[in-house]
């Protein structure tokens, strides 16, 4: 459903960085869920699998970094979540009309068994919260960082006279456990507040690596 938005895409923002490793842990940073996300994601995952199969690194886990990811295409969030889940529900769209539409795992994931951590912060919204929330409530990932933004609705703008407008909620995004993240956000399993005075240190990333290595 590429025409279905979970939120507005930031034009000009790169969607994803190439996968890299730190201390034997693979890291994928997603900046937003755009038109190229699925392809770029496949490239990154293929590189991780190739590197791990070559035996050049320990491959002790995977970190999905969606900090400051404002959202984007819904299908991208379902595609990414499906990489880590064998089957089942990812998110439900509940319309104001009463109709519900379930989005389930839609392909065979390649990272189903690797220890997984997801990094979130207050800038993680909408589609990124769908991924983090689904992986959390399905028991697949450890969430590290700060509580996310809390954007769990689809809104339409109704134009009014005198250049005024009204935003009306037309649908809600519901996680697999029935929770609605709107104005609440996804809470981390391990809270780590970023310290702005330590620009050369990423405390949240370091904690996620520590958590994954402790699972070995």
pTM listed for this prediction:
0.89
Domain range for 128 is 20-214
Query: Which listed residue (128, 151, 153, 207) is catalytic?
Result: 151
Report pLDDT for 18. 80
> What would the two tokens of residue 73 be?
């295409």
In which residue ranges of the chain is pLDDT below 70? 1-14, 216
Report pLDDT for 99. 94
Known catalytic residue at 151: yes
> Is 14 part of a structural domain of the chain?
no
Query: Which listed residue (77, 82, 124, 126) is catalytic?
Result: 126
Report pLDDT for 216. 63
| Residue closest to 173 by CA, chosen among 185, 161, 165, 164 | 185
> Is 143 part of a structural domain of the chain?
yes
- pLDDT tens by residue, 56-71: 898 999 999 999 999 9
Sheet of 153-160, strand order: 100-104, 89-95, 164-174, 153-160
> How many domains is the chain built from?
1
- pLDDT tens by residue, 97-114: 899 999 999 999 999 999
Kindly tell me the sign of the dihedral angle through the C-alpha atoms of 11, 12, 13, 16: positive
Q: Give yes or no for a contact between 115 and 62, defined as CB atoms under 8 angstroms apart.
A: yes
> Is 201 part of a structural domain of the chain?
yes
CB atoms within 10 A of CB 95: 12
> Is 157 part of a structural domain of the chain?
yes
């Amino acid at each position: 459903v590429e025409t279905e938005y979970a939120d507005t895409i930031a034009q000009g923002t790169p969607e994803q960085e190439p996968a890299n490793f730190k201390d034997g842990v693979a890291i994928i940073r997603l900046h937003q869920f755009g038109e190229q996300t699925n392809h770029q994601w496949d490239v990154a995952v293929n590189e991780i699998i190739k590197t791990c199969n070559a035996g050049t690194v320990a491959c002790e886990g995977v970190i999905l970094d969606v900090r400051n990811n404002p959202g984007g295409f819904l299908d991208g969030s379902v595609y990414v979540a499906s990489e880590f889940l064998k089957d089942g529900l990812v998110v439900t769209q509940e319309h104001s009309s009463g109709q519900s539409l379930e989005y389930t795992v839609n392909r065979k994931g390649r990272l189903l068994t690797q220890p997984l951590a997801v990094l979130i912060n207050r800038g993680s919204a909408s589609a990124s919260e769908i991924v983090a929330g689904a992986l959390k409530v399905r028991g697949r990932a450890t969430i590290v960082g700060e509580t996310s933004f809390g954007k769990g609705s689809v809104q339409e703008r109704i134009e009014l006279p005198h250049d005024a407008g009204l935003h009306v909620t037309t649908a809600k995004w519901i996680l697999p456990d029935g929770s609605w993240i709107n104005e609440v956000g996804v809470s981390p399993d391990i809270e780590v507040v970023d310290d702005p005075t330590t620009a050369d240190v990423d405390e949240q990333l370091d904690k996620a690596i520590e958590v994954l290595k402790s699972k070995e």
